[in-house]
Structure 1
């Protein structure tokens, strides 16, 4: 068997810049061969592929290019779909041409999937157009770090200095002073604007500006390191007006999200849209109830209840799974009134064809009790609660006190997930985290068990009073609490905290 090797550009870092073709190939890849600069968020698009790390970065090669070539040939003989994932574009300083030649010589089918190159994307995110009418009619992409073993340079410095509007150096931070000196020696004005862009298109992107004469010292003082891209030309001056990526409300903020990974995507995306770098640390994962029979029995009797109360989207999902086991669906709830605590729970019900009869104004058990009692007498009513294994007794106790027949079943349980705990603890110890978010009491409890209650300089952000109370009971301070007890409310609270606090 001879498989196909796909030389795929992963783009410069921001997962939003991955092409549709690249995403499609990653999802069906048998094996993924990847470099150091491929974003972890992009790697998640290939959850089932075997992974082969060949980490090339800044001269520190995990594999030589010759070894990588041999690996690709070998894997093509074992797998149908081999994806060679390269940062940026495979043919722009990516050595993709060398790999394609080896594959062609070996008779192995291959496909080139272009990617967005950093030389365009990073300046755009910094607010620097590489071409601009009246300022720059041409642009040159230049390696900033030529092979030191070569006797002569391949770069036409005289032409770059006088004949190109914008010069973009890849991998050039280490040789910036030398490269700038050559440009000036060949006629480029010392006061030509220049910028260094570190970690382009990543949430941690930083940009410093100066001139050919001043930028090396400015970048050195700011601690700009690899990976960085250097832009030289009059267009750099437009950054003062056009800069946007690093001027969003949460730009430069690193925020830890402790929510279950499967439910964290919208929350993380909202934070990232405001500029935050999100570190996903799901301290819990959702698992079926240890004894699933009570939930199955409740599903069999679904139509006999007067009310069914769902306290979370997880409860909805597990209840519908139990309905499906009975070869049933939403029709089993005909005539049953449904209460959903919180908009996310309501949205999950609506996705399954059920519009809740009642959504309390506040998304806590006490509010649900008030809303249910306000909707009419519950005396003698059969009420099903489908919720987590460890949940507060406020809801069933209050309804029983009002005369209701409450069937309280475990729909799911939460299991501690400690993967990533050492990394988060180290980041907190180094003061590299700006905020830790908690969306439920269970996330607080597991975080404290895994990492501890001390979070250093990081702010603690809670989704609501119940979660905040748990945090304080466990010795953790709470710096900000969402006014609306939803992830959207938590995003708003963080935004206000950092914008107001600077």
Structure 2
């Protein structure tokens, strides 16, 4: 039985350590803070006990004594307890106190360091806390000391004279007093200063001023927690080195309505470009059981989505088969509706022979029209359109349509709908996402009535756009390439 004091990093899920993710996946109990990455618990076991132990400056608190009690209580009975803390547990995280309590209770513990905000948020703001020419040292200090102390434990005179960068954690509410104390103790009032709010997250904001003016400027800009303050000449480099804010979708919010397993991949693409993403999946895909078809009996095998590829291979796998079930003869061709489907096949060791430029059924049907096809298989969703099989039959082919998966409605709650309504863009990747989203919203008119500042509507292609219009909602943007790459390109170009 071991308690692991684990740093979850400053907020960007990509900054979580491999060890942190490994322990989250193994944990019986996870006692977590408020300021952990939103996806930090996605890898937890379904039967793991998740206990919220968050704190918020000036807001609701879970007392430290209660957190310590929980650690000791669960540490005595559970094999693996993870105390998941934002940033690093030993940098203003009270991890040292928790470790002391565990030692006193005779409970084994280990520490897994995390990337701390003082370094990460500064770096994401383009502010190196050390610099060969500007700062050879850095000091971290808290702007929120123990209120029960008789006085400040900080030596303001020493800090004012410190010949390097000062990084202040949890100090945004006391910024005026902190700056005044430093100036009164002799630090230059015109020294460059910065505040970084929501560091490493898509909504990160950086404000640069001077030590004398930073508090007033932060108040005017409504800068709030979580935030760090940085004092020293290095902050002047923000204008030159602010790489995060130069990403093409920085400051843009996007709602993703496709199935969660696919939406997460799209969300990762958008987040890498700087967007804040709201996942609002209105469908999920469900593989349909059944025997694998005899692939050797067809001279054309068609796939109309990456999900269809995965679902068919699930059937092959269940029967003890793999890619070798595909005939090796040149007589049999494999067709993919678009590049994403072709990539899914390639990942399984199958190269698509036919891939139309546009990922729509009409383009695939046209690409197949000139081929001599006697017998074809179309592996697809249960509710898919019949454009491809009807075209093949019109050209004399015998066609077997095998529904290898179906889409199932995922309900959306009011809180998610409100979050989506506040985004800049909402994306639709299939007609089913349009129908299900608008059904959850009470119809197009009810959705439009939520306010004039509704998100702009982004469609993946003409079929989805036609469904939007049929439902009473016009697309503002349609991707030129009717796949996820095209959808992302459309957002970047908007």
If the TM-score is normalised by the length of the shorter chain, which range does it land in? Answer: over 0.9
CA contact (8 A) 1:267 1:487 kept: yes
1:238-277 matches, within 5 Å, as 238-277=237-276
Partner of 2:27: 29
Partner of 1:500: none
TM superposition shift of 1:328: 2.6
1:78-477 matches, within 5 Å, as 78-289=77-288, 292-293=289-290, 296=291, 299-334=292-327, 335=329, 336-374=332-370, 376-378=371-373, 381-419=374-412, 421-429=413-421, 432-451=422-441, 452-453=443-444, 454=447, 456-477=453-474
TM-score for both structures, normalised by structure 1: 0.93
Alpha-carbon displacement from aligned partner over 1:335-359 (angstroms, at most 9, x marks no partner): 3321111112111212222111211
CA contact (8 A) 1:37 1:57 kept: no
TM superposition shift of 1:149: 3.1
CA contact (8 A) 2:13 2:38 kept: no
Cα separation, 2, equivalents of 1:486 and 1:239: 37
**What SS does structure 2 have at the residue aligned with 1:384?**
strand
Pair 1:15-2:13 in alignment: yes
**What SS does structure 2 have at the residue aligned with 1:264?**
helix
CA contact (8 A) 1:300 1:326 kept: no
TM superposition shift of 1:55: 1.0
CA contact (8 A) 1:267 1:488 kept: no
CA contact (8 A) 1:103 1:110 kept: yes
Cα separation, 2, equivalents of 1:313 and 1:389: 14
**What SS does structure 2 have at the residue aligned with 1:353?**
coil
Structure 2: unaligned runs, 5 residues or longer: none
Alignment RMSD: 1.5
**What SS does structure 2 have at the residue aligned with 1:282?**
coil
Cα separation, 2, equivalents of 1:137 and 1:317: 54
Mean Cα deviation higher: 460-469 or 129-138? 129-138
CA contact (8 A) 1:6 1:112 kept: yes
TM superposition shift of 1:158: 0.5
Cα separation, 1, equivalents of 2:146 and 2:114: 24
TM superposition outliers: structure 1 runs of 4+ over 4 Å: none
CA contact (8 A) 1:387 1:409 kept: yes
TM superposition shift of 1:47: 4.4
TM superposition shift of 1:279: 1.4
Cα separation, 1, equivalents of 2:27 and 2:163: 41
- Select the residue among 23, 36, 39 that pairs with 2:37: 39
CA contact (8 A) 1:245 1:251 kept: yes
**What SS does structure 2 have at the residue aligned with 1:196?**
strand
Alpha-carbon displacement from aligned partner over 1:364-393 (angstroms, at most 9, x marks no partner): 11111111112x233xx1111111111112
Cα separation, 1, equivalents of 2:109 and 2:58: 27
TM-score for both structures, normalised by structure 2: 0.94
**What SS does structure 2 have at the residue aligned with 1:57?**
coil
Cα separation, 2, equivalents of 1:65 and 1:145: 15
**What SS does structure 1 have at the residue aligned with 2:314?**
helix
TM superposition shift of 1:277: 1.0
Cα separation, 1, equivalents of 2:141 and 2:110: 25
Partner of 1:484: 481
TM superposition shift of 1:148: 2.8
TM superposition shift of 1:61: 4.5
TM superposition shift of 1:59: 4.6
TM superposition shift of 1:409: 2.2
Shift in alpha-carbon separation, 1:415–1:85, aligned structure 2, 3 A: same
